Amino acid sequence: MSSTHGRGNIELLSATLAKAKSEDRAALVAYLPAGFPTVDGGVEAVKAVIAGGADVVEIGLPHSDPVLDGPVIQTADDIALRGGVKIADVIRTVREAHEATGAPVLVMTYWNPIDRYGVERFTAELAAAGGAGCILPDLPVQESALWREHAGKHGLATVFVVAPSSRDERLATITAAGSGFVYAASLMGVTGTRASVGAEAKELVGRTRKTTDLPVCVGLGVSNPEQAREVAGFADGVIVGSAFVKLLLDAPDLPAGLAAVRSLAGELAEGVRRS
């Protein structure tokens, strides 16, 4: 099911989000770091969340200084880095997950590793692996021209992150430069599970929608079906990461972890259907 001639899968991503909308529901977007608990285990975890009901998957590129990530994802990143995970393993995770499931798979990464690896090389390899694009939480739009040029050439989406602190004028600048979807961070702070996702996210989605026709997906803090249902009431997609990663961290072994993430994906998939 891989894409041809090194073209990325932005069309697949857009079609998947549009299909969810046509079914009058939000898309379920799952986040898992590459190389965790191992490279092979990470690939199996992606397959498990898609089998459970996730529509789209974000593969995290483990980073030694993850400013946006809370303790759960930091712990997983640390395990992956100590296991020797490399960018080649991230690309391999994308390829194997996409080929096995046909689902759109993106990479979420800080800018520094791509800059060091080489923008042209990274975009070419991600596209050849059938990747759908990249989420770049710390790349300022005004410094993104080089990345967007190469991403566009290879058919990859460039997903930018907006936050409740983003002013309307800034939102318009960010959404005009992005493609695929807009990642709306539900609150100021780092990733992690939270008791409530709240009104800030709803207001941010409303303000973002006034600037763009791109789908708006909400992440940071969604961890259970009730929260997924709440966010699905106003967003095009619900992004869940730490809750999946925590299940894998807490599991006694990989098979138990895979069963747990598959089960949670199923519960969340019910949640995004807005009953």
| Residues with catalytic roles | 58, 69
CA 119 to chain centroid: 19
- Residue 108's identity, in one-letter code, is M
Phi-psi domain of 62 (left: phi exceeds 0; alpha: psi -120 through 50; beta: other): beta
Q: What's the token pair of residue 157? A: 């989406």
Q: Are 106 and 133 in contact (CB under 8 A)?
A: yes
Residue from 197, 188, 178, 274 nearest 239 by CA:
197
Strand partners, 216: 182
Computed from CA positions of residues 139, 140, 142, 143, in that sequence, does the dihedral angle turn out positive or negative?
negative
- Distance CA(36)–CA(272), nearest Å, equals 26
Within 8 A by CB and 6+ apart from 66, the residues are 73, 74, 77, 110
